[in-house]
Structure 1
Amino acid sequence: MAKLIVMYRTPKDPAAFDRYYFSTHVPLAKKIPGVMKYEVNDGTVATPAGPAPHHLIAVIEFASLAALETALASPEGQAAAGDIANFADGGADLFFFEAKEA
């Protein structure tokens, strides 16, 4: 299994971010081939030291790293990646990796 983690830093207008993210970006991202699971935080993102500089964290699961890389290269993956600039004015960091149970 492989995971794509997208960490969205706090935007200028969190309510506008949420509206766009859930009404436009999520449906677009769910069209990416091979998405097995799509999760986001429910509520505030925190750290042991207090609030995090992130508004939203998405965790998207794929069958393998190869499937994830193929998905990101697909037209749907490119469309979703290109859409980030339309709403994430605080910036976003993307991480992907092969995952295993510890």
Structure 2
Amino acid sequence: MAELVVLYKTPKDAAAFDKHYAETHIPLAKKLPGLKKYAVSTGAVGSPAGPSGVHLVAILSFDSEAGKAAAGDVPKFASGGADLLIFDTKEV
């Protein structure tokens, strides 16, 4: 299984980010071929040291690697930047 983890950093306008993410990006990402699961963080994203600077975490699971259309939308609303991590997983 392939996983895509996106760490969205704190945007300049959190309300605008949240609106675009909910109304545009989620519906776009849900059309990705092979998408099996799509989860997002709720509330503050912290770290053991305190605030993380991350506004939202998204975790998408696929049968195989995908996501170019959704990744292309990220610069349109993620004014704080985002780190996209793609990797395969195995049950342990």
Per the TM superposition, whether the score is higher than 0.5 is yes
Identity of aligned residues (%): 57
Q: Which residue of 2 aligns with 1:92?
A: 82
Residue by residue, what CA displacement relative to the aligned partner does 1:42-80 show, whole Å, maximum 9, x if unpaired?
Answer: 1110001101110001000012xxx11xx23xxxxx331
**Structure 1: distance between partners of 2:91 and 2:41:** 21
**Structure 2: distance between partners of 1:79 and 1:99:** 22
Q: Which residue of 1 aligns with 2:6?
A: 6
**SS class of match (1:16):** helix
Report the structure, 1 or 2, having the larger strand content. Answer: 2
TM-score with structure 1 setting the length: 0.85
Unmatched runs of 5 consecutive residues or more in structure 1: 73-77
Residue by residue, what CA displacement relative to the aligned partner does 1:14-59 show, whole Å, maximum 9, x if unpaired?
Answer: 1110010011000001111000000000111000110111000100
Report the structure, 1 or 2, having the larger helix content. Answer: 1
**Structure 1: distance between partners of 2:88 and 2:34:** 15
C-alpha RMSD of matched pairs (Å): 1.0
The alignment covers a number of residue pairs equal to 92
TM-score with structure 2 setting the length: 0.94
**Structure 2: distance between partners of 1:59 and 1:87:** 18
